[in-house]
Each structure stands twice: as C-alpha cells, then as structure tokens.
Structure 1
Amino acid sequence: MTRTALIALALTTTPALAGPLTVAPHLSSHMVLQHGKPAQVRGGGAQPGEEVAVTFGTATARARADAQGNWQVTLPSLPRGQSGAVTVRSASGASLQLDDVVTGDVWLCSGQSNMDLPVSGSANPDRTARESTGLPVRLLKLKRTAEAKPARDIVPELAWSRAAPDNLGGFSAACWHMAREILRHDPKTPLGLIHAAWGGSTIEDWMSPAALRTAGASAEQLAWLDRYATDPAAALAAAVDATDRWAEQVDPGSAGAAWAAPGLDDSGWEQIAVPGQWERSGVDGLGGYDGIMWFRTSIALTAADLGDGKDVVVQLGRIDERDRVWINGVPVGAQLVAAEARSYRIPAGVLRAGENSIAVRVIDEMGGGGFSSPADALALVLPGGARKPLAGSWRYRRGTADSAWKGAPPAIPWSMPRGLTMAWNGMIAPLAGTGLRGIAWYQGESNSSRAAAYAGALRAWRTSWRAHFADPALPVVVVQLPGYGPRSIRPVDAPWAQLREAQRIVANEDAGTGLAVAIDLGVVTDIHPAHKDVVGERMGQEALRVAYGIARPAAPQPLKASRTGEGIAITLRSADGLAVSGALEPVGFELCDATGACRFARATVQGQSVLVLDDGRPASEVRYAWQGSPAINLYAKSGLPLVPFRITID
C-alpha cells in the first residue's frame, strides 16, 4: 500500500477529537435539583453518536449524542438532602463537573412587573438582603428573552448562585419573601428559586401556541408569528393591514382616512405639546384615556428643500403603541410596537413646495400613549441630511375610546410585552425537563382591559405549564391583584375587579391552585406597591397549603348567598374569627339587580357569615370590594381579608 493510501486510510478510521463538553445554561454549579423527581441534564460538545454519562452521587445515566453532538440524559428520581458534584463524561474522554449541587425544592416565579420587582426596588431592601446570609436558598434569574420560535436555551442574567447580600438585590422580592415563609416551616431543605418575569407582559406572552389555540387565540395571528420568524417585513405588512381594517370599523377618523385628509379643517382641534404622553400632558380628561388619538401638524418647504424629492424621511421617535402616518393624505408608514423608533421614507412626489400636512393616528391600548422620544428625535430629514424639526405644538382630537371599541385590535404576536408566546419561547420552553415543586404566578395587570377572557386564558396557561413540566398536578400559587386605581363614590364595574374574580374562580376550580389574596396591600396611585414582604408571606402560606399539605389559613371565601327575612346571608368558608376593623360595619358590599344596576348596601357580621341588609329593592347578585381600590375592613383572625367576589343570590 502506498504512503498516500495509508494516510487516507488513517484519516477515515481515526475518530475526530472531542470538543469541550457543555451543559445547558439553566444548569450550573450551585444549582438545586428537585428531589423526588427525575433530573434531566443536557448539553452539547460530544461527538456524533458517542455515549455520554452523567453521575450524581450513586446515580448514573447514559445516552448517545445526536448528529450535532447534543445529548440529553435523565437521572432517576433523586432523594432529598443529596449534595455534591454532577460529572459529565463522554466515551472519548471529555468531561466537565458542576460543583456544589444539592437536591431540594425548586420554585419557578413568573409573571409581570410585580413579580419582576427586585428586592432593591422594594421596601427595606438592605435589611432584606442582609437576612439572606446563610439561608439554604439558591437563585437563578433569567434575562428577558423573546423569541418567535422555541429557543433551545435560556439566557441567564444570574446563573445559579447561593443567595447572598451581594446578589439578592436584583432578584424578585415577592419570590424571595415567599421562600422565607416556606423556610419557616422547613429551614433545612434547600430552596431553588427561578426568576422568569417581564414587566408589562400579558398572560398570552407566556403561553405556548397550543395553549393559545385552546384559549381561542386567532389562528391568523399565530400564523403571523410563524411568518415573522422567517420574514419579519411580510408579517408586519399583514398585521398593519389588519390593524387598518379594524380601525376603519371602530373609528370615524379612520374610515376613509377622513382625519388624515390634507384639506381637513382642523381649526377646531385642541393643541398639545409633541412629543409627550397625553396622560402626562395635564389636559383635563386625558389622564386615564386609552383609545385612538389623532395628531396633525404642517410644515412649510421650499423647492430647494425638496431637491429631487428623493430620500426624504420623516422621523417621529417611539410612539406608544401603534401608529399610522399620512403626508398630504398619502400613507407613508406604520409601526405596531411601542419600542420601535419610527422612520418612514416618503415617496417622491408626495411632498411639495409650500405647506405639507402630517397626520398621525395613534392607537393606545393601555398605559401611556403618544410620542415618547426626546424632541430632537422628531424631524423631517431632507436630501443631504438637513433636519427640519417637528417637535412643538400639534393639534389633536380624540378618536374612539377603548371602552367603545367593538373588539380589541388584532394582537401583534411579536410585540413583547403584550404579544403572543414570545416570552414562552425565550424563557419557559428552554426549561423543559426541569423538576419543580411549584409555580408562583403574579400577573394580570396588563390583561385587565380584557378581563372577560382571562379565566379561559388562565386555565389554558396552567394546563400547558403543568404539561410542559411533566406534572399534571403541579402546584400553582396565583397572586390576586391588589388594590389599584381610582376610588369611586358609586358602584362601578371596574376591570381590575373583573380580573380578580377570574383569578378567584380559576383558583377555586383546582385543589392544587392557591390564591394569595392581596386586595388590602395595594396603593391607589402606584401599580407597583413596594411592600412585597406581606405579599410574599401570603404566597408562602398558599404554597405550604397546596404544595406541602401543611395546614395554613386561607382567605375567607363566599360559598353561597341566600335570602333570609332580614336580607341576604353570605355563607363563607375560612372565616374563623371574622371581624370588622376600625368601624361598626363592613364596607364594600353592593346589591345588583337583573339589569346589572348596582348600589351600595349595608352589611353586618354574624359569626362566620355576613348579612347584607335588605333595602327593599330588587336584587339578584351581591358584589364585594368591586372597585379598583376598594376600602377593606373585614378580616378573619388569621389577618387575611375577605376575598373580593360577586355571587348570585339563590
């Protein structure tokens, strides 16, 4: 055999050198593995087809790598109290080791801003951080990551670490205080806390496509998301077109783009400073306005300004949330995501020497609305780069308020937060195979405008997360929204009250779901109440009750409402020691007739029930604490308040 042939034979028979083994980033030294459940360990870096062995204590499991060198091994159910190193070895001799690994209880804490609020932003941050010293708690915080398709791996913001004063500041305060309450029951079993939350997110952001379909999500919007993963421009165009069609149905200014017409007489419109969010403008009636708003201005140009009419761009900065822009009645651009800076190229021939009209329609579904960038971000950029400022006094007119919309505008699935499945794809899907003791869920603020659909979404969310983590009975603790928003001198059908009721109903349907009642812990003007210690304590009590089977008091709940000779008797559960605080009578009760008209009603406590006094008028329903920020003065001796509710009278 020739020398060349021998070399060729050697090259074809000698295995390639193994690359460095890796593990998925949600696995690392100092992690907690859930005792009593199998532990999935996965990674990459092996040779295609070679065997990889994972060992923890006396347990070893093996699997073969796929064609890309990725591997996945499942260790058998792990005992409580195990500690040591997890070793990974490949048949070719590569190895890695994860040190200081323990078995304990792992809790996944998720939701929006009130779960995301860190210890450093909550009450008593320094004291809270100091108290972490020496406690058997490990932390994993996920970076906010949105993906149009399920990601393989998470992006850690804080890899698994022992809780300590120098790392607790950025971690979820509610989740931490929940852990403290659990530790009071069992101070020795290690706790692993996973912080995966995103301020402003909707429940739909955290649901898989299958769960969204169960909850009735639009097949068209899910198709947009699939398209967005491969062709973002085409997906945006489809969603813009759908938004325009919706606006034409609900808004008089959008029908035929009537309020964008260049010859429109807008002299009767009011003036407002642009940029700026209209809720902060100080204009009467705009402080809480959500809906469609129109803005108009004009700009004078010379023939020299225009040059050849090409390469002229209108820049408007960020607009919250959706916009459509017309120049001289011609649509020149639209965007649907508040975080995107608006920059639209104007086709040649649209601008002319003299006055040119600019019209902007803004659709604001929740929170602040309007132009949110600095003044210098708004300009008409002429050929050669010269900038004509557009900031200043514009005319505005309200379109249709959200309360008058015939259905919500089409959801934009990639608009995170407030999209569809993007947070699930980026932050939850990659955690598949993680053993959990339970889930803590603090979310709902961003769904309050669609409270009627929340119960179905919450059910589908719960079912899908349990399936994803391979435990159909996985305990879930839901934090019911606290008080927030204006108080009213008359009964109102507040959206936050509707959403709290959805949370209550769904929690009561399932023995493995706890409801942490926080109605008395809110702040009228602050959607992010800083005292997360009591919230976390109540979360921990519910966790002990539904996940550990430990007897803990629950908030009083209504069982039935029955007519008596004196009025309506509300039979309650968990109402031991029910008493009024700071007054002679409980407040916040309402009687409603069959038409939905409600009025405040007097009530008295009778042992472990409440009697709503008959006022002689028709009544078919009782409501309690049915406002954004209701006054609360009825508690059980446990210190837990009566949960807000509505109940039909038998």
Structure 2
Amino acid sequence: MRRLAPILLAAALASPASAQSLLNGLFADHAVVQRDRPLPVFGTAKPGETVTASFAGQTLTAKAGPDGAWRVDFPATPAGGPYAITAATASAKASASDVLVGDVWLCSGQSNMEMQVSASGDAWNQINNGAANDTIRMATIEKADARSPAKDFKKPPAWKPTNKDTVGAFSASCFYFARELQKTRQVPLGLIHASWGGSGIEAWMTPTALRKVGGYDDAIAVLNLSITDQAAASRRWGEVIKAWWSAKTPGQAALAPWTGAGTWTAAPRDLGIWERWGVPALAEFNGVVWFKTEVELTAAQAAQAATLGLGQIDEMDTTYLNGVGVGATSGSWLERNYALPIGSLKAGKNTIVASAYDTYANGGMYGDPAKRALTLADGTQLPLTSWSYRIEPRAGGDPPRAPWDTLSGVSTLYNGMLAPMGPYAYGGLAWYQGETNVGRDKAYVNLLGAFMAERRLGQAPDMPALVVQLADYGGYATAPGLPAGTAALRDAQRRAVAADPRAGLVVTHDIGDPYDIHPANKQEVGRRLALAARRLYGEPVTTGPEVVSAKRSGDTVVVSFAQVGGGRLVARGSDRVIGFELCDTTCRWVDGRVDGTSVVLNGSGSKVRFAWADSPSFNLFDAEGLPAGPFEVEVKL
C-alpha cells in the first residue's frame, strides 16, 4: 500500500453545523473511502451555491440544487493515503483529514452485530494485546428512526482507528471479520456499523423494495399518513388492531377489550413489570395484556384538547380512548404522550384502554406513576389511577406492528440510519439479523433477497453480500418433525443466499448458546465471514458443507454436498451421522453414514431435514472443521 503526504487542511473552517452539512457526516477525520471505483463526494450547501471539492490532487466543482444537495465524482483511486477531502463555498468550508483509500464494508443488523468487542469472548486479551491497527477503522452510526428519509445523521459519525482505547466499543463480528480479512487483503478497511438490537429486516428497507416484495402497501400508506396527520393514522391503526382481535376471536364483539367490556382484574396500584406482580399467569408471560382505566370529565373539560400520558410501556402499545385509536409506540424506553385534539373527549366517563405487547423478558406499564395522567389544554392534570388488566390468549398469533414501530415497522431504520449515508461508496455488506423475524420465514426469503439487491443500488452490481445465519438458541428437538421457528428462519437465509450468486452464507449453529441469544464467540463469526468474502473474491477457499441435492437410491437417500473442506465429510465422535430426518406426512430420525462428500441415509421420504431445531444436535462437519448448515430440501427420484 503506497503512502502519500497529507494535503494541508483549509486554514479557515466553518461552524460545526455548517461544516457537518457541507460534507456528508461520513466524510470526517480518519475516514476510509472505497478504492478502485469512482468516488462520490457530496453534502449540502445553500441552494444555487458553487461548491469546490478537492481530493487526491484533483479539484472538481458542482452547483447545489434547489434543495441544497451537491455531488462530485472523483476518479477511481487505488488503495493508499492518507489524503484530505475539502469542500468550500463562498459561505462555508469543511474538510476531513487522514483519509485512507481501501475497502469499505457496511456491517448491519440487530443485537448480534451490535455486540461490542468488550462484551464478546476473550475481550480483555483482544483489547489489550495487539489491537492497534491504524488501517482498520470503524464509524458507528448513531441509533435513529424516522418516518421519512433523513438527510443528516442524528449525530455525525466519528471514524475511530483501531487501538485499545477504541476497539472495545466496536462491533465484535464486524471488527474480527476485518482483522481476519486483512490477513489476505492487505489494504485499509473501513467499517460502517449501523445496527439496532431487536430490529426486523423490514425496518431497514425502503418502501420501494417492500412494495416489490409485496404485502406492505397498506402499512406504507398508514406510515405516510402519519407524517401529515398522526391523529388520523392512529385512528386507522387502531382499526387494524381491532381487525386482528376480531379475526382471532370471532363472535366476541360484545367483549371487545377496547370498549372496556368483559371481565377485568384489578392491577397493582403502581402497575410496573407484570412478571413481578406475583400472578402465576404473568410470571413468564410474553404477549398482549390489555390495561384499562376511566376518567370522569365535566363538559368544560371535555371541550378541550388534551395530552394523554401513559409513562413507559414494555415494549409496544396501541392505545384507545372511548374505542378510538389515539396512539401506538414501540420502545420500552419511550414515554407515551398522545395528543388528543378537540372533540376526542366527552362529558362524563371516558374509557382509556392500552394493549401492551411484550415479546421478550419483562413487560408492562412502568416508571413514575405520576406520568400516567390526562393533561388538559388549560393545564389541569388528572391522574390516571385504578387500572385493571386482561390477559390476551396467545392462541391465534400476536398482533401486527405499527408501521412507524421503531424496530419492526417499515423503513424506519433505513430512513433514520441508512438514508443519511447517501451515495457513500462501499464495497461489501455484512448482515447479521433474523432473530426478530423468526416465525415469518416464508416472507423472509424474498425480503432478504430484496434487501441485498437494494444495498447494491448505486454501488458495484456484483458487490459481495455476506449473511450470518442464526446460531443455536432455544429448545432442543425432543421428537422428529416438530416445528422450529429458528430452524425455519435459518433455512430462509440459506435459500435467499443460494439464489444470489454474489452472496455468501456464514453458518454458526455450532457456536451458539441454547440459553443465550447473544453467543460470545464472535471471533469465529469474523473468521467465517472472512472466508465467505474471500470465496466471493474468487480465492480457492471453502466455506463449509452446502447441500446440493437429495436423491433416492434404492432403499436409501443420498444427500450430496459442495464446499467440503479437505474433500471429505466427517461424523464427529461417531461412526454414524446424526441430525437427519426423512419426512412424508410425518418425519422420523434416521441414521446416516459418510461417503466422501455425501451422506447416505437409510430409508425413504419426500423431503429431508438436517439440524432442524432451534438448538440442533448434529455431528456433520468437513475435514477443516466447518459445520454442515441446516436445511430442508425435497428428495428427487
């Protein structure tokens, strides 16, 4: 890698705010930009202003459009640096120093991508021994959601070179991937990390991509309505939840919870986390609990606008006033304060009902009880006390998420975290997500395919996309043929990657933890990510046994694999292979034996499953120690 003298910074800089917008926030000190491709440099200036930008000895000009957006494209530059990027107008100047040119990767997903080096296995040793590497740099994008594409980051990202003071806060999977990849691709590596624990894939996609997948038109329409008329959108969303409840509880309209009808049980005075109430039915309950209270108003009070405060709710709510939807929020950390326009209230008794939907760990209405109040426009505050509750049976499925739901809505995280990146050039995607989409595997195949295609837009059309498959977590299989949501999602990930010639799958179901959804061995995740990237770069490496076919052969089924390291399969700890099922109308476990790069199963069936459990038991690896990935495929004659 060649080293060049840095270009001197402009002597005069604009104020931080104008400097931030003149150059996009990713063009900051210590940035890494993509090599060997035209380099877009862009930002926001005053409409009509001429912008002069410089990089690597080149100077280009552009005129800011009516919205202030400007862009220039510098010629492709080989790996090297450091350089400076400068931009100037008649009214502002901005610059970024110590900029390297190399390969840029976008690392994104939910909590397993978000897990920091400091929380991963062997953290102290990794941080304190040999972490210094000025040519691996990470920029972490601040968490932000939005209902329409944001032009600027919530907070400008700061690029951090790797050292013992910075690496502890890096995404562990992303960092270990880069460190391993740089052993064979000796160029600077820039890592843009954009993740949010608990997020669904739909939140990271644009409305355009979701429309192509299909089934999201209504959600997108409600989201767009919420931008211009939140009250109308809340009413409309309230009807969606009503329809969900009515469909799962046919013939029970007289007991509809949003009306306040039916049987309710008095809740503890200060509410709080329901697992702590001492109610057996709620001790480990994840699902919907409805909460109800009432408030009496005079005619003068009812004639006012008001704000309905409910405090914090873990983790999602849809709230009704007199049977009309008035708000829906996701996020246990958020205070609920819903605006009630004039005409929402009535004289006499007003019934407030909130459905609290909890998917993991604690649930309930909690925090300061004083924040649960109705505040009228004249300043009068009416405490909301005497709450009662009603548990919604899990049978029939869980409710849909509001389209503006931070983590499981439509486009919310794309709008808040990816859209501000604009056309910043990157050369690869590493995606570690899926836990939140367990149970929606049929849709996930197309969603993941569309997501990878969308991330390539404006980038190289053959850009590598790496997908980390879900690790083992949850129950073991106690009988063949049982449903397993995590296994089904893993297979959806496998099928989406198999349909994309520039995608690579990273199998991890041997390095997870059945009791912890956040396995600590992120070094091995990074090593396998690097193997997948190297394979897509055309290097002669194998990435673990991939099922090719299952064919009937007499009274056996022969399952063939590709990408077998060392040219042979291995049944660890036994002379037979375990983890296979053969299925027709029912499934049964079958023994198998290794035959080179195939496994021969005793028996017949219309399909074969392997490692089909949330936490599967299996022993099939290749000679280089990589596991065969889980799958379900049809048996061909």
Normalised by the size of structure 2, how large is the TM-score? 0.85
* Superposition map of 1:433-512 within 5 A: 433-467=423-457, 469-491=458-480, 492-512=482-502
> What CA deviation, in whole Å up to 9, does each residue of 1:29-49 have, x standing for no partner?
211111111111123446834
- The change in CA–CA distance for 1:283 and 1:589 in structure 2 (over 3 A counts) is farther
Query: Which runs of structure 2 are paired with 1:279-358 in the superposition (5 Å)?
Result: 291-294=287-290, 316-323=310-317, 334-339=327-332, 340-342=334-336, 347-351=345-349
Correspondence 1:33 to 2:23: no
Counterpart of 2:133 in 1: which secondary structure? coil
Partner in structure 2 of residue 589 of structure 1: 580
Q: Residue 275 of structure 2 contacts residue 282 of structure 2 at CA under 8 Å; is this kept in 1? A: yes
**1:294·1:399 contact (CA, 8 Å) conserved in 2?**
no
In the alignment, which residue of structure 1 is the partner of 2:217? 219
The answer (yes or no) to whether the contact 2:238–2:325 under 8 Å persists in 1 is: no
Structure 1 residues 333, 390: closer, same or farther in 2, change over 3 A? farther
C-alpha contact 1:136 1:190 (8 A) present in aligned 2: yes
Gaps of 5+ in 2: 1-13
Match of 2:111 in 1: 113
Select which of 241, 261, 284 maps to 1:243.
Answer: 241
- In structure 2, the partner of 1:635 is 621
Cα distance, 1:47–1:246 mapped onto 2, change above 3 Å: closer
- Name the residue aligned to 1:127: 125
Q: Which residue of 1 aligns with 2:10?
A: none
The one-letter amino acid paired with 1:234 is A
Q: Which of the numbers 415, 420, 424 marks the counterpart of 1:425?
A: 415
Retained in 1: the 8 A contact 2:237–2:325?
no
1:110 partner SS: strand
1:265 and 1:102 map into 2 onto residues whose CA distance is: 66
User: Within 2, Cα distance between the matches of 1:567 and 1:489?
Assistant: 24
Matches within 5 A, 1:50-89: 50-57=50-57, 59-67=58-66, 70-89=69-88
State the secondary structure of the residue aligned to 1:399.
Answer: coil
Q: Is the 8 A contact 1:46 1:71 kept in 2?
A: no
Q: State the Cα distance separating 1:61 from its structure 2 match.
A: 2.4
User: Within the alignment, does 1:535 sit opposite 2:525 as a pair?
Assistant: yes
Q: Confirm whether residue 580 of structure 1 aligns to residue 584 of structure 2.
A: no
CA contact (8 A) 2:109 2:432 kept: yes
Letter in 2 for 1:479: V
Task: Tell me the equivalent position of 1:611.
Answer: 600
Note the C-alpha offset of 1:438: 0.5
Match for residue 6 of structure 2?
Answer: none
Question: 148-157 vs 425-434, which deviates more?
Answer: 148-157
Which of the residues 534, 539, 542 maps onto 1:544? 534
C-alpha distance in 2, partners of 1:254/1:122? 50
1:505-527, Cα deviation, whole Å (9 max, x unpaired): 11112221010100111111211
Judge conservation of contact 1:315–1:381 (CA < 8 Å) in 2.
yes
2: CA distance between counterparts of 1:65 and 1:326? 46
Please tell me whether the aligned partners of residues 26 and 156 of structure 1 are also in contact (alpha carbons under 8 angstroms).
no
In 1, the alpha carbon distance for the partners of 2:470 and 2:572 equals: 22
Say which SS state the counterpart of residue 78 (structure 1) adopts. coil
Counterpart residue number, 1:141: 140
Separation in structure 2 between the aligned mates of residue 101 and residue 441 of structure 1, nearest angstrom? 25
When residues 50 and 458 of structure 1 are mapped into structure 2, their CA distance, relative to the original with a 3 A threshold, is same
1:374 match? 367
Distance 1:177 1:137 in 2: 10
Aligned equivalents of 2:218, 2:258: Cα separation in 1: 29
SS in 1 for 2:349: coil
TM-score (norm 1): 0.84
- CA–CA separation in structure 1 for the residues paired with 2:152 and 2:374: 42
Q: Secondary structure at the match of 1:115?
A: helix
Indicate if the aligned counterparts of 1:524 and 1:629 stay in contact, CA closer than 8 A.
yes
Cα offset for 1:428? 1.5
Query: Which of 313-322 and 97-106 deviates more?
Result: 313-322
CA-to-aligned-CA distance 1:444-470 (integer Å, 9 cap, x gap): 111112111000111111111111x33
Cα distance change of structure 1 residues 338 and 452 upon mapping to structure 2, 3 Å threshold: same
| 8 Å CA contact 2:547, 2:561 repeated in 1 | yes
Q: What is the Cα-based RMSD across aligned positions, in Å?
A: 3.4
Query: Which range moved further: 65-74 or 275-284?
Result: 275-284
Alpha-carbon shift at residue 555 of structure 1 (Å): 1.4
1:39-79 superposed Cα distances (whole Å, 9 cap, x missing partner): 1112344683435242323x332222335654321101112
For the residues of structure 2 that align with 1:120 and 1:114, how far apart are their CA atoms? 13
Q: CA deviation at 1:476?
A: 0.3
SS at match of 1:83: strand
Superposed CA deviations along residues 2-29 of structure 1, whole A, max 9, x for unmatched, are xxxxxxxxxxxxxxxx997631111112
Deviation at 1:540, TM superposition (A): 1.2
Once the two structures are TM-superposed, the CA of residue 277 in structure 1 deviates from its matched residue by 5.2
Read off the aligned partner of 1:38 and give its amino acid letter: P
* Cα separation, 2, equivalents of 1:253 and 1:167: 59
Q: How far apart are the structure 2 equivalents of 1:359 and 1:63?
A: 55
SS of 2:158's equivalent?
strand
| Residue number in structure 1 paired with 2:203 | 205
Partner of 2:631: 645
2:266–2:386 contact (8 Å) kept in structure 1: no
Q: Within the alignment, does 1:48 sit opposite 2:53 as a pair?
A: no
Q: Distance in 2 between matches of 1:415 and 1:223?
A: 14
Give the aligned residue type for 1:125: A
Indicate how the Cα distance of structure 1 residues 506 and 460 shifts in structure 2: closer, same or farther if over 3 A, else same: same
Q: Which residue of 2 aligns with 1:620?
A: 606
How many Å separate the matches in 1 of 2:280 and 2:574? 36
Distance 1:85 1:343 in 2: 46
Q: Distance in 2 between matches of 1:273 and 1:572?
A: 61
Contact persistence 2:32–2:189 (CA under 8 A): yes
2:75 and 2:539 mapped to 1: Cα distance?
27
- Residue of structure 2 equivalent to 1:12: none
CA displacement at 1:238 relative to structure 2: 1.6
Look at both structures and tell me which one has the larger radius of gyration over its CA atoms.
Answer: 1
Return the offset for 1:313: 8.5
- Once the two structures are TM-superposed, the CA of residue 627 in structure 1 deviates from its matched residue by 0.7
Range with bigger deviation, 219-228 or 436-445: 219-228
- Equivalent pair of 2:63/2:70 in contact (CA under 8 Å): yes
Deviation at 1:420, TM superposition (A): 0.6
1:15 corresponds in structure 2 to: none
What does residue 516 of structure 1 align with?
Answer: 506
Contact 1:274–1:371 under 8 Å retained in 2 = no
Query: Quick one: structure 1 residues 238 and 271, their matched pair in 2 at CA, closer, same or farther if it must change by over 3 Å?
Result: closer
**Where does structure 1 lack aligned partners over 5 or more consecutive residues?**
1-17
**2-side partners of 1:474 and 1:485: how far apart?**
34
Q: Is the 8 A contact 1:591 1:622 kept in 2?
A: yes
Counterpart check, 1:185 vs 2:171: no
Partner of 2:85, secondary structure, is strand
Give 1:154's aligned residue: 153
Q: Which position in structure 2 is the counterpart of 1:555?
A: 544
Question: Alpha-carbon deviation of 1:83?
Answer: 2.8
The structural deviation recorded for 1:490 is 1.1
Asked whether the 8 Å contact 2:27–2:85 carries over to 1, the reply is no
Specify the alignment match of 2:393 in structure 1.
399
Give the one of 560, 569, 579 matched to 1:571.
Answer: 560
Aligned counterpart, 1:170? 169
Report if the CA contact (8 A) 2:328-2:402 is conserved.
no
Question: How far 1:471 moved relative to its partner?
Answer: 2.0
